[in-house]
Amino acid sequence: MDPLTINITGLKCDNPNCDYRRDDIPFEAYEGYINAPCPKCGESLLTQADYDECLRMKSAARKVSAIVEATKWVKPSHYWNMLFGKS
């Protein structure tokens, strides 16, 4: 399991006058909802910009997880010892 995970699911209409919402849509299906009309009011359910932002968040989480994994053995005392020798 990654140290940092982002769970993105569901879509809701951004129109403040519309209450359409579906919580059962997995992120993996989002691409098919880009610019799809809301069944209730007709506005776009997911813009390309919002989808791209989700991709950026997931990418950032993977990068942070990789950094954490690569440095999990590091303790502050290791840096101290590298800089000043063992105390």
Q: What is the pLDDT along the chain (87 residues), one digit of tens a residue?
A: 567 788 999 999 989 999 999 999 999 999 999 999 999 999 999 999 999 999 999 999 989 888 877 777 777 777 777 778 775
pLDDT at position 70: 75
Share the mean pLDDT of the chain. 88
Reference 61, options 51, 53, 50; nearest CA is: 53
Which pTM value belongs to this model? 0.74
Q: Which residues pair with 44 in a beta bridge?
A: 37
Report helix, strand or coil for 49.
helix
Q: From start to end of 1-87, where are the E strands?
A: 9-12, 21-26
